[in-house]
Amino acid sequence: MSKNFAAISQSIVDAIGGAQNVAAVTHCMTRLRFVLNDESVVDAATLKAITGVMGVVRNEKQCQVIIGNNVSQAYAEVLKLLPEGFSASDDSAAPSKNKITLKRIGSGILDALIGTMSPLIPAIIGGSMVKLLAMILDMTGVFDKGASTLVILNTIGDGAFFFLPVMVAASAAVKFKTNMSLAIAIAGILVHPAFIDLMAKAAQGQKVEFIGISVTAVKYTYTVIPALCMTWLLSYIEKWVDRITPVVTKNFLKPMLIMLIAAPIAIMLIGPLGIWIGTGISAVVYTVHSYLGWLSVAIMGAAWPLLVMTGMHRVFTPTIIQTIAETGKEGMVMPSEIGANLSLGGSSLAVAWRTKNPELRQTALAAAASAIVAGISEPALYGVALRLKRPLIACLISGFICGGVAGLGGLASHSMASPGLFTSVQFFDPSNPMSIVWVVGVMVLAVVISFFTTLLLGFEDIPVETVAPKNTAPESTASAAFAVSQSAVK
């Protein structure tokens, strides 16, 4: 892949209609996510043909451009092309005159969830891996049980989870374009020690009221949905209060009214409702798991690449985070990713082995390394599997088999880092030494099955473009063209 990100970014911005067509832009681990003013002016064919672009996903006014692991460098160059003072936030919730439909509502909810959670993933992964490190140090006896070093490490790792509502509120405030400090302050109420103690008493049966209204006992630490819903509502409360407060009192009366209106609504209505929604989603996912067992992991392993293609995989992020925070592990979605990620890596290795195209070979090798070593599968998905089609079928087959094996082995993740070679330690269970054997077996199986299945199914190789030398005779030029056409046929 070309390293000239300035040129790549310029080509991308031109293909999506120029800088004036960009309403907002952000990025996740592998994608540039544009919100456009006019989706119809996008030159999709040109965009997909840009060297360095691995794929394009379009949804409503969003245009997601898959770059790969170096997306942050392309993002930095894109920002240089946008007008000075441009807000680099993802705001796909721009006003729209289109009719409200179930599809648009679903798309809006999904976008809000992804746009809010994506910026928090590094902190969550970092925290979970630190907790995992503390667990390993405790298991190996490097430190005594209850040693202060272990306590501090666990506290460092737990910070992102315990204060997750505050982090979600800050991220959602950017997404919904509302006051971040007010969003953080209201979310902070939910994790305040005095409020936590009050909720604990309410859970034990003690009556808790606010101005005569009963308050539902809810534990907000480690949760996502309540703070997300609360901040969305705050964005409307802030606009309404701004309209009714006199100009001379805005400095003190406006924030005071917002706090007095939003905080009680969050505590008595939005918070409990958000908890019920989050609990309901988790219940559905893990009820399916309890009934189908290993088969549910197998199905998820086969479906995972398709979910990533549509962006639907992020729907599971809050459920995974909350499950790990509450139980210490997650045993359905994360284990299915082992086979899915490494299958894409193994399939890419097979493409690199078989292809005659040097550029495709380099892309496939880089994508394979990303998927197998780091667990970042999108370069392999968009740069190889989806591009050649049959390798994707091989990955779905391998993902199903390896997901089933992971389910039979009872594998569960103690972190939510993308499963790969370096992060496979998250599946090691101190109480079950055989978990090491199972996870290593699943990884080897995923690479081997996808590799040979890809070779068995075959794929249509991308022909190498041959340019004739300038001083070539007409006969030689014709021969070279004939050779190229024959190579394409083969």
Q: And the tokens for 204?
A: 């034990």
**106 part of a folded domain:** no
| Mean pLDDT of all residues in 248-262 | 88
**Given pLDDT bands bounded at 50, 70 and 90, which one contains residue 3?**
low
The mean pLDDT value for 38-62 works out to 81
Q: Tell me the pLDDT band of 127, cut-offs 50, 70 and 90.
A: confident
pLDDT at res. 91: 45
Q: How confident is the model at residue 86 (pLDDT cuts 50, 70, 90)?
A: low
Task: Report, as an integer, the average pLDDT of 286-295.
Answer: 84
Residue, of 398 and 144, whose pLDDT is higher = 398
> If you average pLDDT over each of 33-37, 91-95, 229-233, 429-433, which comes out highest?
229-233
Residue 86, CA distances (Å) to 23, 24, 313, 374 in order: 9, 8, 29, 33
* pLDDT tops 90 at residue 422: no
CB atoms < 10 A from the CB of 453, how many? 22
Tell me, what's the pLDDT at 85? 57
The domain tally of the chain equals 3
Shared-domain flag, residues 59 and 194:
no
pLDDT for residue 471: 43
Average pLDDT over residues 371-391: 82
* pLDDT average, residue stretch 283-306: 85
Cα–Cα dist 465/339, whole Å = 35
pLDDT digits (tens, 9 = 90+) for 164-196: 889 989 988 988 889 999 999 999 998 899 998
Q: What is the pLDDT of residues 63-85, one digit of tens each?
A: 888 887 678 788 888 888 887 65
Cα 149 to Cα 21, 131, 144, 328, 469, distances in angstroms = 52, 12, 9, 20, 67
Q: Count other Cβ atoms within 10 Å, centred on residue 265.
A: 16
Could you tell me if residue 421 is inside a domain?
Answer: yes
* 287 — pLDDT class (breaks 50, 70, 90): confident
Q: Are residues 343 and 453 in the same domain?
A: yes
Residue 313 and residue 448 in one domain: yes
- Mean of pLDDT values over 303-313: 75
A 10 A CB-CB count for 83 gives: 8
123 in a structural domain:
no
Domain boundary, last residue among 282, 311, 345: 282
pLDDT at 469: 41
Answer yes or no: is 149 within a domain.
no
The answer to the question of residue 156 being in a domain is: no
Residue 261, pLDDT > 60, answer yes
Residues 439 and 375 in one domain: yes
Same domain, 171 and 199: yes
Residue 450 has pLDDT above 60, yes or no: yes
Angstrom distance (rounded) from CA 270 to CA 266: 5
Q: What is the pLDDT of residue 383?
A: 76
The three-class DSSP label of residue 197 is helix
Q: Is a pLDDT exceeding 80 seen at residue 326?
A: no
Q: Are residues 235 and 179 in the same domain?
A: yes
pLDDT number for residue 472 = 41
Q: 415 and 297 in one domain?
A: yes
Does residue 436 share a domain with residue 297? yes
In a domain, 375, yes or no: yes
DSSP H or E stretch at residue 272: helix 271-292
Q: Using pLDDT thresholds of 50, 70 and 90, give the confidence band for residue 460.
A: confident
Nearest Cα to Cα of residue 330 among 395, 426, 423: 426
Same domain, 347 and 216: no
229 given a catalytic annotation: no
pLDDT at position 475 over 60:
no
Mean pLDDT of 378-397: 86
- CA 384/CA 1 separation, integer angstroms: 13
Final residue before a domain boundary, out of 98, 122, 154: 98
170 domain-assigned: yes
Whether the predicted pLDDT of 466 surpasses 60 = no
Least confident of 103-107, 210-214, 247-251: 103-107
- The whole-angstrom distance between residue 248's C-alpha and the CA centroid of its chain comes to 44
CATH number of domain containing 12: 3.30.1360.60
pLDDT at 49: 83
Distance CA 30, CA 451 (A): 24
Distance (Å, rounded) from C-alpha 363 to C-alpha 369?
10
The first and second tokens of residue 350, run together, are 């097979």
At 185 the pLDDT is 93
Q: So what's the pLDDT on residue 358? A: 86
What mean pLDDT value characterizes the chain?
80
Domain C-terminal end among 79, 98, 117: 98
Q: Are residues 275 and 298 in the same domain?
A: no
> Helix (H, G, I), strand (E, B), or coil: what is residue 214?
strand
Same domain, 237 and 337: no
Q: Is the pLDDT of residue 482 over 50?
A: no
pLDDT at 470 over 50: no
**Residue 197: domain span:** 163-282
Residue from 28, 63, 229, 395 carrying the catalytic annotation: 28
Is position 103 within any domain?
Answer: no
Residues 203 and 175 placed together within one structural domain of the fold: yes
Length of the chain, please?
490
Tell me what pLDDT residue 104 has: 64
DSSP 421-477: TTTGGGG-BTTBTHHHHHHHHHHHHHHHHHHHHHHHH---PPPPP----TT--HHHH
With bands split at pLDDT 50, 70 and 90, how would you rate the model's confidence at 364? confident
